[in-house]
């Protein structure tokens, strides 16, 4: 067969061998495309099948409990369905043989915290079934499998095809500080260093007596202040090796080997979402480069079954984190990231409650509480609409529009045209102090309406557009009349120190006007209350105002401790393991916002038309002198190289063939004596020279000269400064 596409569905995870060869390592997705159904994998087995008899062996891990990203069906199950040329599908049924693997079991306390669907791994090698997946293994004493139903039957219900790739796994790797081996343990812990914070499955090979307990965990076991996942192994007699099936993450893997065990090998296998890095940003500022790298290392750990807040304490799809991760995925990942975003968007609306309310994290097992501010963020301009802005996927927007409209209808407007507070299940807007909830409610609602209005226009629903536009204008007028205090926004009944979050979000939402920008930017340079979650929007506000120097300065102030830390990832709060910041994990998705801002604003690359049909390059370089960036888009890569010296400014762009856009040359000196494009003078004596048929000067402002570029390829602008 050219292909042998096989449907495999389980609750919860599986490992697949065909003819003794491992084909899928940790297959399956945490359950919950919606409250009823189950995901299935579609795996091509053609490369592994042979003429004649074939042996399929599957190890199923049934979690048996719910978590923040897994909705347990309540019953272990496996479906295997391989169509054959004869028309008789090879299907899992009572002819299959099965056995509960006797080596796996439960550890003693401490157990993973309640948010995690996974349990600790306990493996007793004395009860192992050696070679059970090999074709020649004697399974004559195994029992026939029980047929519990066909595809579509309860409790697994309809099967939804897996929308994201199988995971990436490396080969076994050496730790950076592995001691000379073999080594006889003296009964202490071997602390082995990873090159950075990684998700890994740990491996060892030893010689030991039976009945000794080995414990494996990372330095991050209590990351976020609560226990995560660990592995226990009970030895058998002789030489033995083991690789834990459960991944965990950290910088250091800690193996406790009892005294007398001879350690022959210790290694790890790195694992992650299956994507490729295509984007990049570097500049002459080492701090900013390091911040970007730490953000991408953080993101690498936060996308798997779901787009999560953290890979340790929760592994949960909180949508406040998704919105910020989304930007990084567009600017740095290939389109495999789009698949994960599509999954997240569909899951959010599929879990909508009958009353119209939305909540996350989803898939939901033991959580159902709405965080209204995060839900507004998810469905608004920076969530669902931003997905369309970078992908052009209008079909998905049409699919989710009714759910968004239904949710926003739950929000009430008062007699003054402002938003009534919606408590939801958890009134959470940010970690930290001095949160002006009223400002944030109104700004997030306005952003949600803005996204909905654009979706309605895209879908040709002009009556909806008119209604939303009218309501938005009323809210904008009322917001400024009620909350503007001359130099900043503040709600009348708020008692704390004036909040930087609401002021930054007002700019990002478009509620403020250029006349207010000067005082807002000064205010945002002085007040530092936001956690890393809301900090992204404050920094973005400064870029939108045009205060790139202040934005970069604040970024460097706020992230100083994280960038200077030996920890390779970004933290949940400004302090580690702090109750002020929800427990303070050291790898948190929402903290990576600066990576997006560096490419989007500092390098200046963004879509001009939705779907990146056209582009804009408008750099805000602050005091930087050198910038290199590249951003993936559907047509290919957009590359930018900027060099700024006292004598001249050079902006070189490489754009996919046939792609049109606008490139803005910043006016960094009093004025340029001349500007050339690809060696041809196009601006001299304060006048534009129409010398290139594919280039036009278009309206700009006092900060930029804007050029419409009508073809792709390499475009080089050089501005020579007046002496």
Candidates 3.40.50.720, 2.60.40.420, 2.60.420.10, 3.30.1360.30; CATH matching 610-721: 2.60.420.10
Neighbouring CB atoms inside 10 A of 338's CB total 21
Least confident of 304-318, 611-625, 697-711: 697-711
Mean pLDDT of the chain: 97
- pLDDT at 516 exceeding the cut of 90: yes
Q: How much is the pTM?
A: 0.97
pLDDT per residue over 347-375, tens digit each?
Answer: 999 999 999 999 999 999 999 999 999 99
DSSP H helix total and E strand total for the chain: 14, 33
Q: How many residues appear in the chain?
A: 723
pLDDT per residue over 378-401, tens digit each?
Answer: 999 999 999 999 999 999 999 999
Candidates 1.10.10.60, 3.40.50.1820, 2.60.120.260, 3.30.70.580; CATH matching 5-99+139-162: 2.60.120.260
pLDDT per residue over 19-69, tens digit each?
Answer: 999 999 999 999 999 999 999 999 999 999 999 999 999 999 999 999 999
Q: Is the peptide bond before 363 cis (omega within 30 degrees of 0)?
A: yes
Instruction: Enumerate long-range contacts of 358-362, CB under 8 Å, 24 or more apart.
Output: 358/403, 358/407, 359/424, 359/425, 360/316, 360/317, 360/318, 360/319, 360/322, 361/68, 361/69, 361/306, 361/308, 361/309, 361/314, 361/316, 361/317, 361/318, 361/319, 362/32, 362/69, 362/317
Question: Please, where are the H alpha helices in 484-512?
Answer: 500-509
Whole-angstrom Cα distance, residue 554 to residue 453? 33
What is the dihedral sign for C-alpha 296, 302, 303, 307? negative
pLDDT per residue over 166-207, tens digit each?
Answer: 999 999 999 999 999 999 999 999 999 999 999 999 999 999
Would you state the pLDDT for residue 669?
A: 63
CATH topology agreement for domains 169-272 and 280-602: no
pLDDT per residue over 100-129, tens digit each?
Answer: 999 999 999 999 999 999 999 999 999 999
Would you state the pLDDT for residue 583?
A: 76
Q: How, if at all, do strands 104-105 and 121-124 pair? A: antiparallel
Domain extents for the chain? 5-99+139-162, 169-272, 280-602, 610-721
Q: Is 512 helix (H, G, I), strand (E, B) or coil?
A: coil
Q: Per-residue confidence at 140, pLDDT binned at 50, 70, 90?
A: very high
- 346 class by beta-carbon count within 10 Å (0-12 exposed, 13-18 middle, 19+ buried): middle
- pLDDT at 580 exceeding the cut of 80: no
Would you state the pLDDT for residue 272?
A: 99
Fold of 169-272: Jelly Rolls (2.60.120)
Name the residue among 364, 355, 368, 360 with its Cα closest to residue 411.
355
- 6 class by beta-carbon count within 10 Å (0-12 exposed, 13-18 middle, 19+ buried): buried
Bridge partners of 174, per DSSP, are 267
Would you state the pLDDT for residue 722?
A: 67
Compute the chain's Rg from CA coordinates. Answer: 28
pLDDT per residue over 252-292, tens digit each?
Answer: 999 999 999 999 999 999 999 999 999 999 999 999 999 99
Would you state the pLDDT for residue 158?
A: 98
The whole-number average pLDDT for the span 679-702 is 93
Candidates 1.10.3210.10, 3.40.50.2000, 3.40.50.1820, 1.50.10.10; CATH matching 280-602: 1.50.10.10
Name the residue among 663, 684, 682 with its Cα closest to residue 674.
684
Q: How, if at all, do strands 248-256 and 189-208 pair? A: antiparallel
Q: Per-residue confidence at 623, pLDDT binned at 50, 70, 90?
A: very high
């Amino acid at each position: 067969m050219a292909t042998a596409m096989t449907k495999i569905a389980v609750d919860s995870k599986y490992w697949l061998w065909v003819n003794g060869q491992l084909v899928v390592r940790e297959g399956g997705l945490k359950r919950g495309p919606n409250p009823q159904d189950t995901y299935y994998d579609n795996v091509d087995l053609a490369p592994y099948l042979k003429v004649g008899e074939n042996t399929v062996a599957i190890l199923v891990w049934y979690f048996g409990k719910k978590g923040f990203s897994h909705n347990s069906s309540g019953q272990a199950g496996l479906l295997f369905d391989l169509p054959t040329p004869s028309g008789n599908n090879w299907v899992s049924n009572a002819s299959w043989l099965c056995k509960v693997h006797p080596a796996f079991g439960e550890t003693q306390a401490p157990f993973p915290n309640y948010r995690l669907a996974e349990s600790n791994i306990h493996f007793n090698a004395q009860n192992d079934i050696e070679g059970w997946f090999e074709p020649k293994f004697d399974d004559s004493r195994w029992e026939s499998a029980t047929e519990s139903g066909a595809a579509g039957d309860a409790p697994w219900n309809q099967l939804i095809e897996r929308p994201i790739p199988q995971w990436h796994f490396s080969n076994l790797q050496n730790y950076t500080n592995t001691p000379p081996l073999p080594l006889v343990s003296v009964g202490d812990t071997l602390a082995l260093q990873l090159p950075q914070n990684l998700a890994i499955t740990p491996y060892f090979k030893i010689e030991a007596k039976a009945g000794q307990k080995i414990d494996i965990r990372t330095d991050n076991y209590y990351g976020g202040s609560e226990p995560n996942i660990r592995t226990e192994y009970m030895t058998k007699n002789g030489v033995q090796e083991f690789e834990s099936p459960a991944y965990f993450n950290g910088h250091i893997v800690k193996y406790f080997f009892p005294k007398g065990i001879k350690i022959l090998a210790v290694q790890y296998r790195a694992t992650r979402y299956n994507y490729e890095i295509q984007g990049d940003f570097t500049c002459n500022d080492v701090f900013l480069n390091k911040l970007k790298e730490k953000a991408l290392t953080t993101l690498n750990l936060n996308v798997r079954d779901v787009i999560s807040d953290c890979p340790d304490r929760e592994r949960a799809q909180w949508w406040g984190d998704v919105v910020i991760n989304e930007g990084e995925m567009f600017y740095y990942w290939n389109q495999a990231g789009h698949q994960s975003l599509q999954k997240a968007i569909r899951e959010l609306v599929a879990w909508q409650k009958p009353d119209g309310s939305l909540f996350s994290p989803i898939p939901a097992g033991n959580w159902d509480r709405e965080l209204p501010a995060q839900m507004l963020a998810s469905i608004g301009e920076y969530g669902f609409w931003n997905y369309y802005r970078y992908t052009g996927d209008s079909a998905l927007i049409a699919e989710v529009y009714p759910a968004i409209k239904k949710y926003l209808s739950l929000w009430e407007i008062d007699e003054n045209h402002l938003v009534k507070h919606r408590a939801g299940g958890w009134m959470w807007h940010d970690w930290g102090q001095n949160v002006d909830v009223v400002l944030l409610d109104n700004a997030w609602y306005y952003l949600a309406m803005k996204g909905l209005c654009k979706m309605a226009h895209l879908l040709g629903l002009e009556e909806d557009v008119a209604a939303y536009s009218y309501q938005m204008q009323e809210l904008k007028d009322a917001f400024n009349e009620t909350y503007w205090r001359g130099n900043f926004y503040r709600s009348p009944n708020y008692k704390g120190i004036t909040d930087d979050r609401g002021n930054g979000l007002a700019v990002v939402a478009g509620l403020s006007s250029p006349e207010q920008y000067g005082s807002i930017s000064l205010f945002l340079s002085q007040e530092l209350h936001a956690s890393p979650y809301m900090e992204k929007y404050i920094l973005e506000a400064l870029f939108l105002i045009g205060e790139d120097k202040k934005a970069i300065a604040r970024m460097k102030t706020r992230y100083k401790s994280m960038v200077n830390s030996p920890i390779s990832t970004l933290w949940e709060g400004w302090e580690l393991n702090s109750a002020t910041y929800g427990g303070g994990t050291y790898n948190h998705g929402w903290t990576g916002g600066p990576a997006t801002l560096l490419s989007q604003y500092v390098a200046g690359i963004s879509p001009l038309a939705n779907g990146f049909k056209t582009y804009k390059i408008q750099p805000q370089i602050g005091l930087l002198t050198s910038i290199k960036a590249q951003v993936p888009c559907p047509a290919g890569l957009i590359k930018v190289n900027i060099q700024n010296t006292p004598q001249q400014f050079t902006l070189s762009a490489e754009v996919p063939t046939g792609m049109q856009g606008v490139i803005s040359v910043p006016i960094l000196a009093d004025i340029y004596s001349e500007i050339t494009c690809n060696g041809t003078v196009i601006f001299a004596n304060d006048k534009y020279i129409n010398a290139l048929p594919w280039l036009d000067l278009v309206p700009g402002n006092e900060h930029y000269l804007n050029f419409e570029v009508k073809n792709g390829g390499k475009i080089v602008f050089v501005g020579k400064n007046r002496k």
